[in-house]
Homo-oligomer: A and B are copies of this chain.
Amino acid sequence: MLLYHDLRAPNPRRVRIFLAEKGVAYDTIEVSIAASAHQTPQFAKKNPLQLLPVLELDDGRVLRESMAISRFIEEMHPEPNLFGADAWERAQIEMWNRHAELELLLPISMIFRNSNKFYEGKIKQSPDFAANMREVVAGRFAWFDSELGQREYIAGARFSIADITALCAIDFGKPSGIRVDPATHPNLAAWHARVSARPSAKA
């Protein structure tokens, strides 16, 4: 099993943490976004959308999209379970994973794309949109902080894919100057310290 990834991008990191939690061995090929390696004709054969991560199975089959890859790995390696053990828990974890993705990872990624020098001259940026998203993210941090006052992990009493998504989202705020302030959001900060202390966070 071969993972095409970039060490600094948040979506490949979701899959690396997922694989680390599962204890699954895999090979990697780094496709550096900074070096535009994702835009070569060679990589377009793996993913015409020029996005990472991509998983290549030993028989040559290729799978794109971090959540499709993670779900497939969950089916191949069910334990430890990270998507839920029964229908209702699976629904709860999916709901919270979507919240973490749509309310944190997506706006934080769009802030980076639309305001960071990394993309200057590479894509059309909209700094005003990035500024609007910063306000959205501040509101979402407050909401997650209040939710995490009621439980240990994003989707419930145990670690799940929703924690992986939220961790990768928040850490990807760093290049945009977005950080969790323990004084303002103590529950979110405590959760962040808790999940960051797991060995998988280094993946």
Residues of B near A95 (CB, < 8 A) are: 63-65, 68
> Which listed residue, B48, B75, B114, B129, touches A90 by the CB 8 Å rule?
B75
Contact A99 B129 (CB under 8 A): no
Contact A65 B129 (CB under 8 A): no
Closest to A126 in B: B129
A68-B98, A126-B129, A128-B128 given; A91·B63 CB < 8 A? yes
Contact A129 B114 (CB under 8 A): yes
Docked Cα-Cα span, A88 to B99, in Å, equals 26
A185, CB-defined interface residue at 8 Å: no
A197, CB-defined interface residue at 8 Å: no
Docked Cα-Cα span, A128 to B71, in Å, equals 36
Contact B94 A65 (CB under 8 A): yes
A48-B143, A143-B48 given; A72·B99 CB < 8 A? no
Q: Considering only CB atoms and an 8 Å cut-off, how many residues of chain A contact the other chain?
A: 33
Closest to A69 in B: B91
A48-B143, A128-B126 given; A72·B98 CB < 8 A? no
Residues of B near A99 (CB, < 8 A) are: 49, 64-65
A126-B126, A143-B48 given; A91·B103 CB < 8 A? no
Residues of B near A94 (CB, < 8 A) are: 65, 67-68, 71-72
- 8 A Cβ contacts from A71-91 to B: 71-72, 75-76, 87-88, 90-91
A138-175, CB under 8 A of B: which get 1 and which 0? 00000100000000000000000000000000000000
Docked Cα-Cα span, A93 to B75, in Å, equals 14
- Can you name 5 A-B residue pairings with CB atoms under 8 Å? A48-B143, A68-B92, A68-B98, A106-B106, A126-B126
